[in-house]
Chain A
Amino acid sequence: MTTPVLRVQDLHVHYRTAAGPVKAVNGVSFDLAPGERLGLVGESGSGKTTMALALMRMLEQPARIEGGRVLLDGVDLLALSEEQMRRIRFDRLSMVPQGAMNSLNPVMRIRDQMIEIFNAHGRHPDKAERRERIGHLLERVGLKRDVADRYPHELSGGMKQRVCIAMAIALRPQVIIADEPTSALDVVVQRQVMETLGAVQKDLNAAVILVGHDMGLMAQFADRIGVMYAGRLVELAPVRQIFSAPQHPYTQMLIASIPSLEEKRLFKGIPGVAPSLLNPPSGCPFHPRCPAAFAPCPTINPALEETDAGRWVACHLHSEAVLHDSRA
């Protein structure tokens, strides 16, 4: 494998609350290859946004990174000063946040919002060059140059979402994190936005982490899929295998719940409620809802292990060691 551009190692993020720490990210590790498209899916509330914000070091109180490393080209982002991190954001690592279109400043023209990014990084001080660059960026995401002179409220949701992508790629980062970039858009615009993101990503050879719930978009866009459950990464595999032969029972049930246009009114949700992140169950966090749970599951939390080349799963059903032990 090529040297990963991003390595996340045993990341822990807690929200410190009066009732105790909410363990929103609980020991997540993965590598991201240059130019790779990683889809991140999982239960609502499983810690995807929290993890994305942790990678960007954009978490706010009472969230705290309690442990782990985030290596961007070998440099641990968690060890950098705030000023060093500020210079890395947008430049090497950028994000299209959840609900991005609401994050645009309503009283500033798009052009001025983009200029702010350039200024913050000392880029394109020349006015003519800057104008050209902004025009080019907008065209790159399928917008007209004159969008630069508009205010956010004068743009449709899809247009705003593309503006956010244009801002995220403005400084040609190596890694782009997009948190549900299209969940408010119609399928035609969705497709345009994703194709735009895909094209610029290829152009820059940037890696993309796409967070989302739309399994259709994931199937269309991602190379690999990571599945989160209760703050942990429970499966990580190439996209085809996630859809055709998922290994973790949670992933299997998630895939089985995807509706199709073939059969009507077959709702296959997963019975039960997502586990508490304040008092997580002992053992595997999925065991209370897992139809395949057996002896070790309530007590031993399975580690994410490589089962086949490139396939990772955190489940005792697939763990050599535990199966061996429990039979012995």
Chain B
Amino acid sequence: MTPVLEVRAVGKVFRAGGFFKRDATVALKDFSMTIAGDRPVITAIAGESGSGKTTLARLLLGIIEPSMGEIRYHGVNLKAMNGDQRRRFRQEVQAVFQDPFEVYNPFYHVDHVLTTPVAKFGLARTRDEAYTLIETALHQVGLRPEETLGRYPHQLSGGQRQRIMIARALLLRPKIIVADEPVSMVDASLRATILESLLKLKQEFGISLIYITHDLTTAYQLCDDIYILYRGTVAETGSVEQVIKQPKHPYTQLLVSSIPLPNPDQRWGGDVPAMSERNNGSGGGCPFAARCPHVMERCHIAPPPLYQTSAESAAACYLYDDQPELRQRPVAAHDLLNPH
């Protein structure tokens, strides 16, 4: 069966234009993943600030084009879609964007982001039907329709704006939702409610979710698989049980040990390793070498491939070079879980 979404060795380079002649930024390097067609999955993308997560989301949504590699939806390269395929893609793959301050047009009521897709994709036959759809979606994210509709974006709190974006995605019943930090601005109880409705979308409607987040605890709660990105490359990937509970890559270990525990008696331990001056990650070696407590000479020379660290996980780190290399591409965490 053809996968729904296939990312093949994708890279993205941003070239600084205009006034500033700086080096190009490699936002994403040689990234591969697959969303299978036979069953829905929830995949987490986590990692450093600036490691390429939003870039990946924008690539998946076809907002920007890869500099290297290709992305296929139902086997068709996003670049080569015809009109019908593109329309279908636009309806079936929906986004919840990271910055709720940016996506709204300040001159339109927030209703606009909900009514436009209903009209565009013909989701309702009558006005009443449209309103009922919108109302249900707003309730699902804990908003009161009568006090949300008719407002301008600046009249809502940060978390309220974020939730309207989720309501929009719920409304469209897509096949895949790409959600970039969808709940970073809502409180713990609402976060639980919203994540539960996302999980239900998977269970009841077979919708796959790509959940981009800094919050490893909710990633663990919600997701099947996870990719940990560091400077545009995959540091570690696999099932959340393996990667979050038994992290193998030194960067994942640092991330997991930095999770602030909701317990005042369990303080953060140790120190955050500073960046060494020797290698700021732009050289040819492992991007984490400059901060890695286990760094070896070879780490500065060539970037490590992904080594299979368990039946369900792989890490890009020479500490595991006695394990088999993951040669097969594209690598999907999901393939690790169920080797064919």
Contacts and interface: CB of A to CB of B under 8 A. Distances in A.
A96 B48 CA distance: 22
Interface in A161-190: 180, 183-190
Nearest to B274: A142
B164 to A, nearest CB: 12
A316 B184 CA distance: 33
Interface stretch (B58-66, B261-269, B317-325): B261-269
Given A183-B184, A253-B189, A189 B159 contact: no
Interface string A81-109: 00000000000000000110010000000
Contacts of B160: 44-45
Interface in B192-217: 192-196, 199, 214-217
B107 interface: no
A102 B50 CA distance: 15
Given A239-B264, A260-B217, A273 B142 contact: yes
Interface stretch (B89-97, B170-178, B218-226, B306-314): B218-226
A38 to B, nearest CB: 14
Interface string B262-295: 1111011000100000000000000000000000
Given A44-B157, A265-B221, A99 B264 contact: no
Most buried by B among A154, A183, A266: A183
B15 to A, nearest CB: 14
B157 A261 contact: no
Most buried by A among B48, B245, B265: B48
A97 B184 CA distance: 16
Most buried by B among A102, A267, A277, A278: A267
B264 A219 contact: yes
Most buried by A among B46, B181, B194, B217: B217
Nearest to B181: A184
Most buried by A among B50, B216, B218, B264: B264
A4 interface: no
Interface residues of A, number: 60
A42 interface: yes
A238 B174 CA distance: 45
B294 to A, nearest CB: 17
B22 interface: yes
B47 interface: yes
A187 B157 contact: no
Contact of B214 (A186, A253, A257, A278): A186
Contact of A186 (B49, B189, B217, B222): B49
Contacts of B191: 213, 257, 259, 269
Interface in B134-155: 139, 142-144, 147, 155
Contacts of A266: 221
B188 A154 contact: no
Contact of B185 (A44, A216, A258, A270): A44
A307 interface: no
A274 B272 contact: no
Interface in A188-221: 188-192, 194-195, 213-220
Interface of B: 20, 22, 46-51, 98-99, 101, 139, 142-144, 147, 155-160, 163, 181, 184-196, 199, 214-218, 220-222, 244-245, 254-255, 258-265, 267-268, 272
CB-based closest 10 A-B pairs: A44-B159, A269-B193, A216-B260, A267-B196, A269-B192, A257-B189, A267-B192, A187-B258, A215-B262, A156-B50
Given A157-B49, A187-B214, A267-B196, 19 more contacts: A43-B190, A49-B158, A156-B49, A158-B50, A184-B49, A186-B51, A187-B258, A187-B259, A188-B272, A190-B214, A190-B260, A216-B261, A219-B261, A240-B265, A264-B220, A267-B195, A268-B189, A269-B194, A273-B139
Interface of A: 15, 17, 41-45, 49, 98-99, 102, 151, 154, 156-158, 180, 183-192, 194-195, 213-220, 239-240, 243, 253-255, 257-261, 264-270, 273-274, 276-278
